[in-house]
Amino acid sequence: MANIDIDYNVLFIIAGWVEAVAYGFLFCIFCVTLYFTFGGARRSHDSHSKILLGISTAMFLIATVHACLSCYRLVAAYVFNGTNPRGGPAGYLGNLGHWDAILTETLYSTQEILGGAAAIYRCWVLWNKQFKIVALPILLLIVTIVFGYWTDALFTRPGTLEGNIHDLVQLKIWIRTFYAVAVVQNILTTGLMIYVIYRNYRNTVGANVRSFGGIRMTWLMRTMVEAAALQLLVEFLLLILFSVGTNVQYIFLDSVVPVIGITFNAMTISYRMRLLTERSGDTMRTFKAAQQSDIEEGERTQTTRVGVEVDVIELSGTSSVYRAGKGKDNSFGEV
């Protein structure tokens, strides 16, 4: 074991507080998502939007149950097991064989798997539903499912405690593999989504098109990196801390569940808020241009910013086909 350890009685309280803060952010973000879905100007009722809303709701419910279970475990440990001769509160929370501990870990695995599946779905949509593109992420997802749930099953073995996980070689290997695959899958799916937007950006340089659904492509790429960075950072820290062998990892472990939900919703919220800003700017520019002009009608010079919505971006083949119009936006707006 590493020397960078914290007293378990203090550690579990800090971990519960960090998860509560992260869940509070998720609650606010989920409410904003519901507003944009049902109460905003851009209401979406297509099947794609319903799928994303279903995933977002499932993530929120899992995070809610996980947070409630964490509160229950803290109360059970520090109130009802405060004088427990088997280590006190830390002894209760450190016993991974309790039903509440197993359920907590199962919810964590389920949220990781759901987050990975949602990222693959978004990637699949952006790549024009080409399964060969997401074949490797799907294989990694299957590995995550197997290692995640089998690890939860190993927790049911007698004598499995927080303090001796690193002495259980098989369990240690399975946990480390689960963390590593989650990090690799996150990097891969995010990279694929960024690349497909960058590819279309490069393919349209000559046509002076810089818009993806009415939004600048460079802004989209930056937003996707920023949204995925939080989850990737937490998962990478978990992998490093677990490999080092310090119990500090438990401070971040429970917060992963709400962080995955935050990451999923952040992309959509950022896009829609930016879209509203861009459209307001376009409306103002159009209004000012109409006031100033008494100019003869004719061809207008094409600028580097497309002021219309891009309805369809076909990602198959060597080049992208853009169709501009006033209809419904089926691009990244719902991804």
Domain count within the chain: 1
Answer with the residue of higher pLDDT: 322 or 29: 29
Amino acid at 175: I
SS3 15: helix
Q: Is residue 207 part of a domain?
A: yes
3-state secondary structure 307-330: CCEEEEEECCCCCCEEEEECCCCC
Answer with the residue of higher pLDDT: 189 or 318: 189
Q: Is residue 293 part of a domain?
A: no
Q: What is the sign, positive or negative, of the torsion defined by CA atoms of 275, 278, 284, 285? A: negative
Task: Express each pLDDT in 92-148 by its tens digit.
Answer: 888 888 889 999 999 999 999 999 999 999 899 889 889 999 999 999 999 999 999
Torsion of CA 211, 212, 218, 224, to 10 degrees: 160
Q: Is residue 108 part of a domain?
A: yes
Phi, psi for 287 (deg, rounded to 5): -65, -45
Q: Is residue 288 part of a domain?
A: no
Q: Is residue 48 part of a domain?
A: yes
Instruction: Supply the mean pLDDT for the chain.
Output: 77
- The predicted structure's pLDDT at residue 66: 96
Give the angle 23-100-9 at the CA atoms, nearest 5°.
75
- The predicted structure's pLDDT at residue 217: 63
- Which has the closest alpha carbon to 256: 18, 55, 73, 65? 18
- The predicted structure's pLDDT at residue 159: 65
Q: Is residue 71 part of a domain?
A: yes
Question: What is the arithmetic mean of pLDDT over 247-276?
Answer: 84
Q: Report pTM.
A: 0.78
Task: Express each pLDDT in 39-59 by its tens digit.
Answer: 755 555 667 778 888 999 999
**pLDDT for 171 beyond 90:** no
**pLDDT for 314 beyond 60:** no
- The predicted structure's pLDDT at residue 45: 60
State the residue for tokens 């995925």: 228
From 84-93, 232-241, 309-318, the region with the lowest mean pLDDT:
309-318
Residue 236 is part of a domain; what is its CATH number? Answer: 1.20.1070
Q: Is residue 286 part of a domain?
A: no
* CA 116 – CA 135 distance, rounded (Å): 13
The percentage of residues in the chain with a pLDDT greater than 90, rounded to a whole number, is 33
Domain span at residue 23? 8-278+308-323+330-334
Strands (DSSP E) contained in the chain are 211-212, 215-216, 309-314, 321-325
- Which has the closest alpha carbon to 19: 88, 78, 61, 71? 71
Task: Express each pLDDT in 198-227 by its tens digit.
Answer: 887 777 655 444 444 445 666 667 777 777
Q: Is residue 292 part of a domain?
A: no
Ordered alpha helix ranges (H), 155-255: 169-203, 217-244, 249-253
**pLDDT for 20 beyond 90:** yes
Residue 164 banded pLDDT, cuts 50, 70, 90: low
